[in-house]
Amino acid sequence: MGGRLAGYLGRSSFYESVLGIDRARQREHLREFARGSELFRSLANRLAQAYSGDPARMGAGLKGASLAERLLTGWGPSLANQEIYLLVRSARPHVVVETGVASGLSSTIILEALRRNGSGRLYSIDLPSRSAGGYLNSDGRRERVFLPKELAPGWLVPEELRPSWELQLGRSDELLPGLLARLGEVGLFFHDSEHSMETMRFEFEAAWPHLCAGGFLYADDVTWNSAFSTFATGVALEAVGGLTPGRRGLLRRRVRA
C-alpha cells in the first residue's frame, strides 16, 4: 500500500495545480479513502456476492471478489476511484451532476465524499443497458457496461447516502438540459455515460455554461475520441486542466479577477 500510494502521489503535481491543494492534503484525503471504512467494506461484500463466479455479469467493470478486495484498500482497477474521491473532497462542490450510473460505484464514492464534506447533493442521469454484450454507441464502438435485469441502476448506493441523491432515468440529451436549468450553477459535472463523440460533445457543451467560477468538468474515457481535447481547446482561455494521471479529462473553470 505504501509504495502504491507514494507512486500515486509522485504524479500529484497535476492535482496540485488544478485543484489548488498541496500534496499533504492530497495524501490525507487518499489515505482516508484507502483505510477502508465500514461503508467500503459493505460495498466490497455486496460486489463479491453479486458478481463473483459469474463471468457473464461483469457490468460496470465489476469483477466480484477481485475488485472487492482492491476496493477495501481503495485501489480499484485504475486511479479512477481515488481520483473522484480526491476531487470531491478537495473541491467541496455543493452541487454535483453525473451522467452514467450503472451499479453506482462512482455515485457511492461521490456521495461518501460529500458526506465527509458535510454538505452537497448528487444529481444523476442514467439509461441502463441490459444486454450482457453491451451495445454499440453512435461511433460504432462497443460499450460493455451493462446491468443484469434484476438489478436497478445505482443498486450499490447504500440507503444512508440516498437522501443526498436524486436519480433520473432516461437519455442525457433529453434530461440534462432541464436538470441544469433547474439547478442553475453546478460545482462538478461528471460525464460517464455513452462515450461517443456526439454524446460527449453534447454533455460538455450543455454543462460548461452552468459551472460556477472554479467549478469542474470531469470525464471518463476521454481517449476514445477527440471530443474532450477539442472541447478543451475551445475553452482554453477559460479553463485549466487536461488529461489526469487516472486517464480522465479534468477542466477547472477559471475564477476571473
pLDDT in tens, the chain (257 residues): 344 554 555 568 889 999 988 888 988 998 888 776 667 667 767 766 765 544 444 444 444 434 554 554 444 444 778 889 999 999 999 999 999 998 898 999 999 999 999 999 999 999 988 877 778 889 888 888 877 778 899 999 999 999 999 999 999 999 999 999 999 999 999 999 999 999 999 999 999 999 999 999 999 999 999 999 999 999 999 999 999 988 899 999 998 76
Residue 257, pLDDT score: 61
Helical ranges in the chain per DSSP H: 2-9, 13-19, 23-34, 38-51, 64-72, 80-91, 105-117, 172-183, 197-207, 227-234
Number of structural domains the chain divides into: 1
pTM: 0.87
Is 234 inside a domain boundary?
A: yes
State residue 44's pLDDT score.
67
Domain interval for residue 113:
78-253
Buried residues in 212-234 as b, exposed as e (16+ CB within 10 A): beebbbbbbbbebbebbeebbee
Q: Residue 149 has what pLDDT?
A: 79
In a domain, 37, yes or no: no
The answer to whether position 62 is within a domain reads: no
- Residue 248 domain-assigned (yes or no): yes
pLDDT of residue 56: 45
> What is the structure's pLDDT at 91?
95
How far is Cα 255 from Cα 148, in angstroms, rounded to an integer? 43
- Say which amino acid occupies 144: R
Whose cell is 464514492? That residue is 109
Q: CA end-to-end span of the chain, whole Å? A: 41
What is the Cα–Cα distance from 179 to 95, expressed in whole angstroms? 12
**Does any domain span residue 179?**
yes
pLDDT at position 95 is 98
Residue type, 145: V
The SS3 assignment for 19 reads: helix
Cβ contacts of 199 within 8 Å, gap of 6 or more: 137, 138, 172, 173, 193
Whether residue 21 is contained in a domain is answered as no
Contact by Cβ (8 Å): 199, 174:
no
Answer whether residue 3 is part of any domain.
no
pLDDT at 163: 98
The continuous run of DSSP H or E covering 142 comes out as: strand 142-143
pLDDT of residue 221: 92
How far apart CA 23 and CA 7 sit, in angstroms, is 12
Provide the CATH number for the domain around residue 148. 3.40.50.150
> Are 125 and 172 a contacting pair, CB within 8 Å?
yes
| Residue 224 placed within a domain | yes
Distances (CA, A) of 48 to 69, 70, 76, 163, 206: 9, 11, 14, 25, 37
pLDDT at 134: 78
d(CA 61, CA 145): 7
What radius of gyration do the chain's Cα atoms show? Answer: 17
